[in-house]
Chains A and B, each alone.
Chain A
């Protein structure tokens, strides 16, 4: 336990870049949600997650050896340069806090190899992804559930939109319905569609598809805020700005390196179906990019 027994101050040991910025900008916040290993602090439409090391580092995450069992939603939090105080129940210090940033992306495989990796992941997702969410819908190409019936066509439209974004220099915002239709779609604390888009953004970033990443980020940022929950919208906008969590980064790095086992192991650390949803978004984008990069594609050099 990284716990100062004399003062009962819990040390925040790592902070994501956006989380630290949140704490610099805001003197007050409110506890928006409490889970077993973490909680979310909210100010306006910005959130930070404060949680135990097992949840993994992230851009909006503060890591501390911390259990929020005695805290509750609605409690006020005071934030200073030294730390965070939540009600009278928790005091957390930045004294030993180090910044966290993900490592650089590894070199990617060839387009042909990337297509094979995408197929291997789809095969795993078809069997291993939970019944909820988009992981299995995407991999199996079927939609027996209400979510599946709606999502299948939207994923296809998104792939078509992304293909257009890769093949041309201009993407009309009017066409960005293909992106907006996925926002807020599906179960979970972060809807599956939001996670899907975060996975696609991460993959485009990893493969240095700068224009396509910017087009997708632009479509997300231009979408009405009311399409998804404030919490999920905050995380999605962070992903659009190029900020993703440790587990997703590890998964995408493994995908573009061809290490399917590591990719699957990494996404299993993300929520119930969220990781699989992210992987579905990443492999959708992977398929589009790898095909566009293959010899004979119509893509402009």
Chain B
């Protein structure tokens, strides 16, 4: 995988890669492989890497289902020291701040629980930073996670 050398931030150098993925659930295995390969240089804790993969899946499937955008979704990965930042870039969609989605009601009894609505709830609990921006028709959803 070609890795673009980035600038130095303090003592830590940032490496970056970017790849576009079709708006289809079928690309998930390739997306996971892309993240795993890039993260491997940081020798990630397996649970931390799982958290990143889960966040990527939830945010990607959310964009595919709801943002109404066109064209590919880009995944930007940045690795600085032991931290991985992932940004999903969608174009021509509607603004929808996923960070403002309320938590799921996980306290409800079984007969009142319904499948669905857990994705963003999980992301919020499994990453260290979670941000959203929308400018000029482009959404940028970013998560950051320490891999150690």
Q: Do A and B come from one complex?
A: no
Binding site for A on B (CB under 8 A): none
